[in-house]
Amino acid sequence: MKTNQFFNTKRFVKYTKYSIISNYRQTLLFWGAIGFAILAISLLSMWRIHSSWNNEGWITLFLLGFYVTGLLNSGFAFKAFRSKERTITELLIPVSTFERFVYEFITKIIAFLLLFPTIFYATSSIAVIFRNAIPTQNSLATVNGLTTYPFNTISFEQLSGNLEPGLFGMLLMLSILVFILALAGSASFRKLPLVKTIVFVGLILLTGIGYFYLMLEKLHLRHPWVESLEHNLSAQQGFLIGKLTFASIAVIALIFTYFRIKEKEAS
C-alpha cells in the first residue's frame, strides 16, 4: 500500500475542514452547554457554600466536570456511526481509516485535555467576577480566621501539589485511558455506546478486582514474589509501573479502535 493511501496531510486537512463545517453547530452547542453548566454550578456553589468555598471546592468541581465531560465527549466520537444512513455517508468520504482515526483521537482526547481546563478556568473566573460583584452579608463570613470573600478562581497547582511525585502522572494516564476506552466503545457500539462501554469495562474491572481479592485476601494465595514486590518496591516505582500498565492498555484500546473502524460495514 502506498503511504499516501494511509496518511496524507493535505487530505487530513480536508477532512478536518469537512468535519468542522458539518459539525460546528453541535460542537459549539456541546461546549456552550458545558461552559454554561460550569458557570451555573460555580455560582451556585459560591452562593450556597460561601463560608467554606475554597480551592479544594474548585478542584472537586473541576475533577467532576473533567470526567463527566471527558466521558461524554469521547462517548460522542464517531457519531456518524450511530445511524445506518450516516455510516454510509461517512464510510464513503475519500479519506483513509487512519486519518479518520487520528482526527477523532485529536479532537476527542488531545483537544479535550487542553480545552476543558481552559474553558473551566475562563468560565469559573467569570463566575467569580459575577459573584464578587454582588456581595451579601453572608459573603463576608470568616472561617478559622480566613475570610472567604472575595472569592478566588481555581488554582491548578493544588491539583498536583498535594500528591506524591509520580502519582499525578499515573492518575493522568488513568484518566486518558478512561477516555480512550470510551472512544473504543463509541467505535464498537451503535446504540448507547457510553452506557455499554461503562457496563463492559465495569464488568472487566470487577472481575479482575474480584479475582485478586479472592486470591490474595480470602484464600491468602500469596506467591513470594508478591510479598517481595510489596516490600522492595518504592512508591515511585509503583507509580511508574501503574503508568506503564495504563499506557499499554491505552495503546491496545487504540489499536482495537482503529481496526473497529477499518472493518466497519454499513449493513
Partner 1 sequence: MIEINNLNFKYGKQAKLFNELSFSEEAGSIVGLLGKNGAGKSTLLKLLTGLLAAPNNSIQTLGDNPFKRLPRFLEEVYFVPEEYELPAVKISEFIQANAQFYPRFDNEKLHQIMIDFELDPKSRLSKMSYGQRKKFLIAFALSTNCKLLVLDEPTNGLDIPSKAVFRKVVASSLSDDQLVLISTHQVKDIENLIDKLLILDKGCIKMHSSIWEISENYSFTTVSQLTEGEILYSEVAPSGYKVLKKAKRANTNVDIELLFNAVTQGVTLN
3-state secondary structure (DSSP) of residue 265: coil
Q: How far is the CB of 61 from partner 1 (least distance, A)?
A: 33
Closer residue to partner 1 in complex, CB, 1/219: 1
Torsion sign, CA atoms 144, 147, 148, 154: negative
Could you give the string, one character per residue 97-136, with x where binding to partner 1 holds by CB under 8 A and - elsewhere? x---------------------------------------
Q: How far is the CB of 83 from partner 1 (least distance, A)?
A: 6
Parallel, antiparallel, or unpaired: how do β-strands 142-143 and 146-147 relate?
Answer: antiparallel
Residues 148 and 163: beta-carbon distance below 8 Å: no
Which amino acid is located at 227 in the chain? E
Q: How far apart are the first and last CA of the chain?
A: 26
**Out of 83, 138, 162, 207, which residue is the one contacting partner 1 (CB under 8 A)?**
83
**Out of 89, 136, 138, 237, which residue is the one contacting partner 1 (CB under 8 A)?**
89
Stretch that binds partner 1, among 37-45, 60-68, 91-99, 181-189 (CB under 8 A): 91-99
Q: How far is the CB of 28 from partner 1 (least distance, A)?
A: 13
**Residue 153 CB contacts under 8 Å (≥ 6 apart), including other chains:** 58, 121, 124, 125, 128
Residues 148 and 142: beta-carbon distance below 8 Å: yes
Closer residue to partner 1 in complex, CB, 24/67: 24
Stretch that binds partner 1, among 4-12, 60-68, 230-238, 249-257 (CB under 8 A): 4-12
Residue 236 CA to residue 14 CA, distance in Å, equals 44
**Out of 37, 41, 72, 91, which residue is the one contacting partner 1 (CB under 8 A)?**
91
**Out of 9, 137, 219, 263, which residue is the one contacting partner 1 (CB under 8 A)?**
263
**Residue 150: which of 262, 54, 16 has the closest Cα?**
54
**Residue 226 CB contacts under 8 Å (≥ 6 apart), including other chains:** 216
Residue 189 CA to residue 42 CA, distance in Å, equals 34
Which amino acid is located at 210 in the chain? G
Check residue 215 for interaction with partner 1 (CB under 8 A): no
Q: Write out the binding residues for partner 1, residues 5-24 only, by CB under 8 A.
A: 5, 8, 11, 14, 17-18, 21-23
Check residue 86 for interaction with partner 1 (CB under 8 A): yes
Residues near partner 1 (CB under 8 A): 1, 4-5, 8, 11, 14, 17-18, 21-23, 25, 83-86, 88-89, 91-97, 263, 265-267
